[in-house]
Amino acid sequence: MKTKGLRILVNIAAMITFGTLGFLLLFILIKGIPYVNLDFFSKTYTQQNASVLPSLLTTLMVVAGSLLFATPIGVFTAIYLVEYANRKSTIVKIISVAIDTLAAVPSIVYGLFGFLMFVTALNFGFSLIGGILTTTIMILPLIIRSTEEALIAVNPSLREASYGLGAGKLRTIFNVVLPVAMPGILSGIILAIGRIVGESAALIYTLGSATILPTSLGQSGRTMAVHMYMLAQEGLHVNQAYATGVVLIVIVLILNFISTKASQHLQKQ
């Protein structure tokens, strides 16, 4: 009797979860798909077409740019924390607290910091580089933490085997530990990409919301999430906002698919 009751409860919870998600997806798809047309992918944005293409490309640029900075810094920080630093030392504890705090900071705070630091103090203005640096700081804790966990999860006996053969620390880390940890690191990077793609608050105040496709690091642009926000806020192209949502969802699905395949491929090796 008791188990039956629990079962019903569990089923209801699952139905609410899937139901909400399904409704949300369907709602956006139904509202948006009719407006995903060739016009919507025009090379330049105009008042008439509200084209998503410049913002799509800008999103890719911001993602690529921040990963370029955040991945090496984040992965090497994690390697330092796991493989080199004494885990009980004060500096490691301070770094840990800093990482956790950064991870919990709301994105609007990053936006404000980026605005004050990059846009005004460093005088970059609303710019691609300002947006990229802001999202870099934002995703660093994510990449550090996931890399750290992936490194810790590597079986210590593999390290022993490598040292036992006379391999040094560098060779052990790069040839034994990192390849094993790669799927975990990769999933952290994918999460980070997801965060950038979905980010609006931190970018509105740093990257800005220009409708053009930036052709230099100093130019302003808008990511898809910002594009969506602006369209909805202006109220003239609400349908195109939904269509942007459709494109965003498709991109996220593609990313997830690629990451799953990549980590499967890595695990097979």
Partner 1 sequence: MHQKKMKIENLNLWYGDFQALYAVNLDIYENQVTALIGPSGCGKSTFLKTLNRMNDLVPTARIEGKVEFDGQNVYNPEVDVNELRKKIGMVFQHPNPFPKSIYDNIAYGPRTHGIKDTHQLDEIVERSLRQAAIWDEVKDHLDRNAQSISGGQQQRICIARALAVEPEILLMDEPTSALDPISTAKIEDLVNKLKENYTIVIVTHNMQQASRISDRTAFFLNGYLKESGETRKIFLNPEKEETENYISGRFG
d(CA 249, CA 194): 11
From the list 168, 215, 216, 235, which residue makes contact with partner 1 (rule: CB under 8 A)? Answer: 168
How far is the C-alpha of 219 from the C-alpha of 189, rounded, in Å?
Answer: 26
**Is residue 265 a contact residue for partner 1 (CB under 8 A)?**
no
39 binds partner 1 (CB under 8 A): no
Rounded least distance, CB 20 to partner 1, Å: 40
Question: CB-wise, 86 or 215, nearer to partner 1?
Answer: 86
The answer to whether residue 155 forms part of the interface with partner 1 (CB under 8 A) is yes
DSSP 105-146: S-HHHHHHHHIIIIIIIS---S-HHHHHHHHHHHHHHHHHHH
Position 90 contacts partner 1 (CB under 8 A): no
Regarding 176 and contact with partner 1 (CB under 8 A), the answer is yes
DSSP string for 137-182: HHHHHHHHHHHHHHHHTS-HHHHHHHHHTT--HHHIIIIIIHHHHH
Does 85 engage in binding with partner 1 (CB under 8 A)? no
Q: How far is it, in rounded angstroms, from Cα 167 to Cα 42?
A: 56
Q: What's the rounded Cα separation, in Å, for the pair 9 and 32?
A: 34
Closer residue to partner 1, CB minimum distance, 13 or 153: 153
Shortest gap between Cβ of 81 and partner 1 (angstroms)?
A: 15
Contacting partner 1 (CB under 8 A), which of 92, 103, 152, 180? 180
> Among residues 2 and 88, whose Cβ is nearest to partner 1?
88
Asked if residue 248 lies in contact with residue 221, where contact means CB atoms within 8 angstroms, the answer is no
Q: Which stretch binds partner 1 (CB under 8 A): 2-10, 161-169, 197-205, 207-215?
A: 161-169
Note the residue count of the chain. Answer: 269
Q: Which stretch binds partner 1 (CB under 8 A): 27-35, 64-72, 162-170, 191-199?
A: 162-170
d(CA 254, CA 18): 20
Please tell me the distance from the alpha carbon of residue 206 to that of residue 28, in angstroms, as a whole number.
28
- Residue 262 interacts with partner 1 (CB under 8 A)? no
Please report, as ranges, the residues that interact with partner 1 according to CB under 8 A. Answer: 86, 155, 157-168, 171, 175-176, 179-180, 268-269
